[in-house]
Amino acid sequence: MTVKSLEIQLYPSCQLHLGSGVFALLPDYCRSLNKRFVIISDTQVPEETVFGVRNLLEKAELDVRVFYFPAGEIHKTRETKERLENHLLDWRYGRDTCLLALGGGVATDLIGFLASTYCRGIPVIYLPTTLLAMVDASIGGKTGVNTYHGKNLIGSFYQPLAVFMDTDVLKTLPPEQWSNGVVEIIKHALIANAELFQKLQTSVGSLKTDPQLLLDIIHESCLIKKNIVESDEKESGLRQWLNYGHTIGHAVESLEEYRLGHGEAVAIGLLVETKLSIEAGFLAASVLRDLEKLLTAYQLPLKTAAFQNRKALLHQLKGDKKSKAGEARFVMLDRMGSARMVDDTYAFPIERTMLERVLNWAAERFGETKEEKK
Ligand SMILES: NC(=O)c1ccc[n+]([C@@H]2O[C@H](COP(=O)([O-])OP(=O)(O)OC[C@H]3O[C@@H](n4cnc5c(N)ncnc54)[C@H](O)[C@@H]3O)[C@@H](O)[C@H]2O)c1
Ligand SMILES: [Zn+2]
């Protein structure tokens, strides 16, 4: 078994183990903690994965139980958290408990948040089972839930004790979930690692079939997120780079009323924001061509009607978390693999006429014809 380990040096630091079959390391690790364990997973994580982890711990004679919550972003709420908390309390779980969050980013965000407040904070181990949760959601300590006012508005910064990423579980992942993860990896490559971008170009078609390649790419991607979050633990600056493609991507998601997957919307966001960097004179035009080719090769559809509704789009951009005084700010690239930083600034305002020009381009480039929508 090839295992790659990283230490995320935040407070407190967290060990991350990545590889095929890495869940086999769990019994020894858990035994050393001397706790009772509760696996919390959602109802769509394949049974084989949930039972696999439970059986490993049971065989090691650890005290373990499984709780479920309904799958999906709409259940990442305070109500779901409360229901799980009541369940844990009913079963008399106390400070002697360690939670295991088994699932995608919804599970790690929700269970991480729960762990941070349950009995004033109990340990949690993340067992991410989607590509997105591996390369993104399980690193950096952000936890939270959604409210009707918006996503992730209630939450905490809380580090898991450890993260075990077993790439074997990805075998059951549906195509859309692959795309969601791949787009975040492409984002990481664009902002911080040109070699990773090249690797992704040569890996089209083999990511799912070449375990070593998949492992390397996840590892590289985790390293990028690790370096950024370590330099900016509480999201005061550098972490804005991780938002590349998301300023436009979130606006597209919202205008499409979440009919597009997160990856599909962010893929379009990456292209539009790359176009902005080119128009602003920072970046070579070839990057946009390469990026579009790569996203198409990874079968991202790159279609949306969101740019037809300019007023609503601009309104969404104003509400972005990087906006200042109602003015949208964008992460920019200087080069492939290198996001722009000037003094301590990581996101930049764009002249209104330039923004309009790029949005016109986007409307034309990504617009769906009536025929296609049918
Ligand atoms: N904390 C952070 O820094 C951070 C970063 C990025 C995203 N996020 C959050 O992550 C969430 C999105 O995560 P996601 O994309 O993993 O979605 P998700 O957790 O909803 O998982 C997607 C679906 O895949 C299913 N699934 C999980 N593993 C599977 C497997 N191995 N095989 C088959 N199906 C499987 C799940 O049951 C679910 O239905 C969002 O809520 C987002 O806010 C957090
Ligand atoms: Zn994202």
**What is the per-residue pLDDT for 374?**
47
What is the model's pLDDT at position 369? 58
Cβ neighbors of 256 (< 8 A, separation 6 or more) are: 265, 304, 305, 306
Q: Please report the pLDDT score of residue 326 as a whole number.
A: 85
CA–centroid distance, 221 to ligand 1, in Å, is 17
pLDDT value for 235: 78
Distance CA 264, CA 282 (A): 25
Q: Ligand 1: which atom is nearest the Cα of residue 128?
A: 28
Instruction: Indicate if 225 belongs to the active site.
Output: yes
**Please, where are the H alpha helices in the chain?**
26-33, 47-59, 78-90, 105-117, 131-132, 175-192, 194-203, 211-231, 246-255, 262-279, 286-297, 310-318, 352-366, 370-373
Q: Which residues line ligand 1 (CB under 6 A)?
A: 42, 44-46, 49, 71-73, 76, 103-107, 109, 129-130, 132-133, 136-137, 140, 142, 151-152, 169-170, 172-173, 177, 180
Distance in Å, CA 27 to ligand 2 centroid: 32
Pairing of strands 97-103, 64-69: unpaired
Alpha helices in 11-124 (DSSP H): 26-33, 47-59, 78-90, 105-117
Region for 86 from its dihedrals, namely left if φ exceeds 0, alpha if ψ lies in -120 to 50, beta otherwise = alpha
**pTM, entire model:** 0.97
Is 311 annotated in the active site? no
Quote the DSSP letter at residue 342. B
- What residue ranges define each of the domains in the chain, with the CATH number in brackets? 4-172 (3.40.50.1970), 175-373 (1.20.1090.10)
Is 273 in the active site?
no
Residue 184 annotated to the active site = yes
- Span from the CA of 230 to the centroid of ligand 2 (angstroms): 19
All residue ranges of the chain with pLDDT < 50 are 370, 374
| Alpha-carbon gap, residue 123 to 304, rounded angstroms | 42
pLDDT at 150: 87
Amino acid making up residue 329: R
**Residue-wise pLDDT tens digits, 257-313:** 989 999 999 999 999 999 999 999 999 999 999 999 999 999 999 999 999 999 999
Pairing of strands 14-19, 162-166: parallel
94 contacts: CB under 8 Å, gap ≥ 6: 119
